Each structure stands twice: as C-alpha cells, then as structure tokens.
Chains A and B, each alone.
Chain A
Amino acid sequence: MAPTEAAEAKVLTREALPVRSEDDVVLVRRRARELAQRRGFDGFAQAAITTATSEIVRNALVHGGGGEATLEELDRGGRAGVRLTCRDEGPGVLDLERALRGGFSVTGTLGLGLSGARRLVDEFEVRSAPGAGTTVVLTKWARR
C-alpha cells in the first residue's frame, strides 16, 4: 500500500504585503477576498477570511506597530484554501489566553478581533512572546 499520510497543503501562490498604514489593512483584506474568490470560496467563506484578515492585520498595525502580511493560495487534495501569515515585531500579546477568550482589549475597543477571527477560520495559530513580536497564521478552506 502507498503511504497514507494526510495530503499536505500545496502552496499555489504567495505574496507578501507590508502592514505600515491603515490603507495597508484595507489592501490586505481586499487581496484576501480576491484570492478567496479566485479559489471558489462561497460568500460566507469569503466574508470569513476577509474579516479575520482585517482583524489580524489591524492588530499587527495597532498593537504591533506594523509588520508584514503574507497571503497564500493553497490546495490540499483538491480542496482550495487561503492562508494569512501576519508578523510584527511589536511587544507581543501580553495575556494571550485572555486575549483569545475574547472581550479583552487594551485599547478599550471590543476585544473581539482575535477571538472572533479564530472562530471564523479553520486553522488558527498565534506565536507570541513578550517583547518578541507576534505572528498569527490562519487558514480557511473552501467547503467541498
């Protein structure tokens, strides 16, 4: 028998976009939608990846002092996906557990960005340490 390891995600395209200004936030989320559209996502999945991207990229700007967002179009065994990797060199998420639970915010806003984004996507990972920046990786797969 052939090895039966789960198919790995194949990266079809990759582009890195700067996160330096508010306009960049709009550009990155718009690009995320374009990729989702191109990959055949339905309207709900498009809205999910666009909104999650907006939250995470804004956080990198507002809390992380800016960074870089990488968008990738994926294919895993015929299933289309879009992945965002957003990296900043800011102070890191101070209380990650609390921030992920939702309703917690240092800026007095809603604190639904991180937790909300997590609920909208299929895979979600935050790598962050105090003083060592934050990297969020999230992936949304199209419904088959």
Chain B
Amino acid sequence: MRQTGQVPILRVAGVLLVAIQVDLGDTVATALQEDVLEAIARTGSTGLLIDVTGLEMVDSFVARVLVDTGRMARLMGTETVIVGLRPEVAGTLVRMGFDVSEVQAALDIDEGLERLGCKVVRRGAD
C-alpha cells in the first residue's frame, strides 16, 4: 500500500493496519493522521488497527493525534482499535490525566482484528 514518510499503511483482511515503529516527531504524527484518513477514504475499510508496539513514548501530542484519528475515522464509518501499547506507556498516559474512555484497545493484532469483527483462526485455539 501507500507509504507515508516512515509509517507503512497496510491492508489486512479488509482492515487498515498501521504499525508505528518509531518515535514520532509532531509533523510526522500529523502527516500520518492525514495519510490514514486518505487511505480510509480510498479503501472504504471499516476497521483501523493502529499497532503502537514500537512506541516507547506517547506524550499528550501523540496521544491526541491517536485519539483524534480514531474520532475522525469514526465519522467516516471506521472503527479504530489500538494494539500493543506498552505497560509503561499506558501507565504514563493515565497518570497524566489523559481521558482514555474513547480509546478501544486490544492486546495484539489478532485480538484487534477479532475486535473489529474479523474471523481469526488462532493457532492452538479450538
């Protein structure tokens, strides 16, 4: 799929998958938001999975970009799930007083896809 600066946006099982692997500068984060929205418009995907396993830090700016992207996606009819948030990042966000009530999160990509209504056959599961 399309490559934005440093963050690839893939389409997996009818869902858009964005894996953020690097510490995002503000401009890159904002650009990513635009690219994601464009990709939604282009593909008509009803699900958006943002994998933040690679993010060592989420400050109020990045958090806001993530939450806003989810809100904007919802307006376009797309549900967003964040996966792979690190324990220390989750702890930091709530400690800062960040309102996370709107954020949908899942443990990993498999569960994220499940949450978005995709059937995933888990190895080892019945």
**Is A142 positioned at the interface, with any CB of B under 8 Å from its CB?**
no
Say which one of B36-44, B52-60, B76-84, B108-116 lies at the interface with A. Answer: B52-60
Please indicate the chain B residues that have their CB under 8 angstroms from the CB of A46 in the complex.
Answer: 88
A33 touches B96 (CB 8 A): no
A51 touches B92 (CB 8 A): yes
**Is B34 positioned at the interface, with any CB of A under 8 Å from its CB?**
no
B98 touches A51 (CB 8 A): no
Q: Which of A50, A102, A112, A113 contacts B56 (CB 8 A)?
A: A50
B26 touches A58 (CB 8 A): yes
Within 8 A of B (CB), among A70-118: 102-103, 109-110, 112-113, 115-117
Q: Measured between C-beta atoms, what is the minimum distance from A78 to chain B in Å?
A: 24
**Is A119 positioned at the interface, with any CB of B under 8 Å from its CB?**
yes
Contacts A22-B26, A110-B60 given; does A44 touch B96 at CB 8 Å: no
Q: Do most interface residues of chain A lie in helix, strand or loop, or is the interface mixed? A: helix
**Is A3 positioned at the interface, with any CB of B under 8 Å from its CB?**
no
Q: Which of A22, A33, A47 contacts B92 (CB 8 A)?
A: A47
Contacts A44-B88, A46-B88, A47-B91 given; does A120 touch B56 at CB 8 Å: no
A44 touches B64 (CB 8 A): no
A115 touches B97 (CB 8 A): yes
Q: Which of B25, B87, B96, B98 contacts A22 (CB 8 A)?
A: B25
Chain B interface residues toward A at CB < 8 A: 23, 25-27, 56-61, 63-64, 86-89, 91-92, 95-98
8 contacting pairs across A/B (C-beta < 8 A)? A22-B26, A43-B86, A47-B89, A109-B61, A112-B60, A117-B96, A120-B95, A120-B96
Across the A-B interface, the 10 shortest Cβ-Cβ residue pairs: A116-B96, A47-B88, A54-B59, A43-B88, A112-B60, A44-B88, A47-B92, A50-B57, A51-B59, A110-B60
